[in-house]
Chain A
Amino acid sequence: MSILLQQLINGLFIGSVYGLFAVGYTLVFGVLDMLNLAHAAIFTLGGLIALWLVENAGLSIWLAFPVATIVAGVLGLLLNQVAFAPLRKRSDSQFSGLISSIAMAIIFEAGALGLFGARSVRFPVGTFAAHTWHIGGITITLLQIGIVCVAALLMVILTLFIGHARIGKAIRAVGESERAATLLGINVNGIIALTFFVSSALGGAAGILFGLYFNNLTPDMGRSIELKGLAVIILGGMGSVPGAILGGLAFGLSEVLTVAITGTSTLRDAVAFGVLFVILLIRPSGLLGRGKTREV
C-alpha cells in the first residue's frame, strides 16, 4: 500500500511542475490562438540562468528564483517583439507564428548551448536545505514540498489575477476578441506583451523547479517536457488555465502509475501519446476547454 502512496506522491510533484509549465503555454494560446513552441526553450533558459546566478553570482536560491523568473519573462517579451508581433497582421498568423516560434526555440537552444555548454550541470549541494521525512514507509523531502507550494502559489495567484484583476480581465477580453478589446480602449499590444511576459516567467519558473528537483540541467532539457506540455494543454483544454493545472496533475499521475505498473518507461510515453490521440479524436476541446474547437 505504501508503494502506491509513494508513487502517487511522486506523481503529484512532477504533475505540479508540468502544470506550471502548461499554464504558460495555454495562456498564450488562449489570448492569441497561437502555439508558442519556444516555451520549452525559455523553460530551459530559466533553469540555467538561475543556476548561473547561484553558482557564479553567489545568490541564494530564494533570490535567484525571482530574478531568473523575471529574466525569463523578459525573454518572453523579446520573443513577442521579434517573432510574433510582426506576424499578427497576416491571415495565416497561427501557422507562421508556430514556425517562427520553432525558429526562436532553435536560436534559444543554440544560445543555451553556447553559453552553458553541453555538459549536464546541477545546483550546488546546499542550494536548498536537504531534509527528508520518512512517514510510514513513504519518503518526502523538503524540496518536494517546497516545489509543490511554490507551483501552487504561482498558479493560484495567476488564476486570481486573470479572474479578478482589471488587467486580468483585459487579457481575457483580448482573448475573446481583439477588435472588441480595441474598441473598449484596451491597449491590445501592451496586453499581448504582458501575456508573453507572464507566460514566459511561469515557464522559466517551472524550469528552475524542474532543475532543482532533478538536479540535472542540460541545454536540451526542454525537449523532454515540450511534447508533454502540449499533451497536457490538450488534455486540459486549450486556453483554460485551470484545465492546464488539472491536466498537469493528471498527466504526472498517469505517467508515474504507468511506469509503476509496467516497469518500463517506454510504455509510459506510448500510453501518454495514445491517450492524447484518443482524446483528440473524441473530445479535442479537452476536459475544460471551450466546446468548439477553434478555427485555424
Chain B
Amino acid sequence: MEHLLQFYAIYGSVINFIGINALMALSLNVTLSAGMLSLGNAAFAAIGGYTAGILSLHFKLPYVVSLAGGTFAAGLVGLVIGLPVLRLRGVFLAMATLAFGEMVRLAAVNLNVTGGAEGLTGIPNVTTTWMIYLVLAAAAYFLAVLRRSRLGWGLISIREDETAAGSLGIRITYYKVVAFVIGAMLAGLAGGMYAHLNYLITPRDYGFFIAVDLLIYNIVGGIGVWYGPILGAVMLTALPEVLRGIGVTAGPIRLGINGLILLLVILFLPNGLASLFSRRQRSDAKVEAG
C-alpha cells in the first residue's frame, strides 16, 4: 500500500495527463473512423476549456455546470463549423480544420477575456484522477456502443467508400456532422476537465502540435478499435517518463524516439498497436493495393 501511495505521489500527474490525453484521443477517433481527417479537436478542447474556465472563474458556477457549458459550447461551434467544412475531403479537410484551430488559438492569445498569452489563471482545481477515469470509461463505453450502432456502421461505410455509401442511401452529410459534433463535444469535455486540473490554461496547451499529437495517438494505438486511441495515448504520454526512468534524458534522443516509433508503426503495424491484441482479422484492414 505504501508503495502504491508513493507511486501515486510521484506519478499522479502523469496518470492524470494520460487520462485526459486518452479522452482527447478518443474524441478524434470518432471522426477518424469515418475517414475524416479532422485536426480541429485541439481547438474544440480549447473552446471547452476556456468556456468552462471562464464559467467557473468569473461566474462562479459549480464544476459540473461549467463542464457542461464547455462541452455544449464546443459542440455548438462544431455544428456551425462542421456544416460547411465537411464537404471537403482528405487533405483539404485537414487544412481547413487546422486553419480553424489556428484561428481559435490566435483568438485566445488576443482576447482579454481569455487572459491573452498568459492564459486563464485561478481556475479552481477540482478535477481528480477518479473523475477523469470515470469519464474516460464512460466515453470508451459510449464509443464502443456507437461503433456497433447504425451510426457506427454508417461511418465505417463512409470511410470505406463514400460514393458507394451514398448510393446505398446513407445520409452522408448527416452522419458526418453528427460524428464531428460528438468528437467536438468529447474534446470540449476533456478540455474543460483539463482546465480544472491545473489552475491555468494557456493558448499553447491547445496548439497545432497538440492536434498532431492526437492524430499520432490514434495512429500508433490503432483507429479501428475503441481501446486503440487509449493505448496510443497511454504509451506516448508515459513514454517520456519511462525514458526518464531509464536515464534517457531529454533532447534529440527522446524526440527521435517519438518519430521512430511513429514511423515503425505506420510502416509495419498500419492498424496500430491494437492490432497486436485483436484476435479476429479486422475486415477493414487496408493492406492490399486498391
A and B touch in the complex (CB under 8 A): yes
Q: Give me the interface of A with B, judged by CB distance under 8 Å.
A: 35, 82-83, 86-87, 89-92, 94-96, 98-100, 102-107, 109-111, 113-114, 227, 230-231, 234, 238, 266-267, 269-270, 273-274, 276-277, 280-281, 284, 293-296
Contact between chains at A114 and B289 (CB < 8 Å): no
With a 10 A CB-CB cut-off, give which of A106, A113, A238 has the most chain B CB atoms: A106
Contact between chains at A266 and B91 (CB < 8 Å): no
Q: Give me the interface of B with A, judged by CB distance under 8 Å.
A: 35, 37, 84-85, 87-92, 95-96, 98-100, 102-103, 106-107, 109-110, 208, 212, 215-216, 219, 251-253, 255-256, 258-260, 262-263, 266-267, 270, 286-290
Contact between chains at B212 and A102 (CB < 8 Å): yes
Contact between chains at A110 and B259 (CB < 8 Å): yes
Q: How many Å from the CB of B180 to the closest CB on chain A?
A: 15
Contact between chains at B263 and A269 (CB < 8 Å): no
Contact of B102 among A35, A95, A106, A269 (CB under 8 A): A269
Contact between chains at A276 and B99 (CB < 8 Å): yes
Q: In the complex, what residues of B have CB within 8 A of residue A94's CB?
A: 90-91
Q: In the complex, what residues of A have CB within 8 A of residue B252's CB?
A: 110-111, 113-114
Contact between chains at A96 and B255 (CB < 8 Å): no
Contact between chains at A106 and B85 (CB < 8 Å): no
Contact between chains at B106 and A269 (CB < 8 Å): yes
Count the A-B residue pairs with Cβ separation under 8 angstroms: how many? 136
Q: In the complex, what residues of B have CB within 8 A of residue A100's CB?
A: 262-263, 266-267
Q: How many Å from the CB of B44 to the closest CB on chain A?
A: 16
Question: Which partner residue on chain B sits nearest A238 by CB separation?
Answer: B91
Q: How many Å from the CB of B224 to the closest CB on chain A?
A: 12
Contact between chains at A281 and B85 (CB < 8 Å): yes
In the bound complex, how far is the Cα of B88 from the Cα of A281, in angstroms?
8
Contact between chains at B255 and A110 (CB < 8 Å): yes
Contact between chains at B106 and A270 (CB < 8 Å): yes
Contact of B263 among A104, A111, A227, A234 (CB under 8 A): A104
Known: A92-B270, A267-B106. 4 other contacts (CB 8 A): A95-B90, A107-B263, A266-B110, A293-B89
In the bound complex, how far is the Cα of B144 from the Cα of A65, in angstroms?
55
Contact of A280 among B99, B289, B290 (CB under 8 A): B99
Decide: A284 near B259, CB < 8 A? Known: A90-B286, A113-B251, A113-B252: no
Contact between chains at A293 and B109 (CB < 8 Å): no
Contact between chains at A234 and B95 (CB < 8 Å): yes
In the bound complex, how far is the Cα of B212 from the Cα of A105, in angstroms?
12
In the bound complex, how far is the Cα of B42 from the Cα of A75, in angstroms?
32
Contact between chains at B95 and A276 (CB < 8 Å): yes
Contact between chains at A104 and B259 (CB < 8 Å): yes
17 A-B pairs whose Cβ atoms sit less than 8 Å apart in the complex: A83-B263, A83-B267, A95-B90, A99-B266, A107-B256, A107-B259, A110-B252, A227-B102, A266-B109, A267-B110, A270-B103, A270-B106, A273-B99, A273-B106, A280-B96, A281-B87, A296-B90
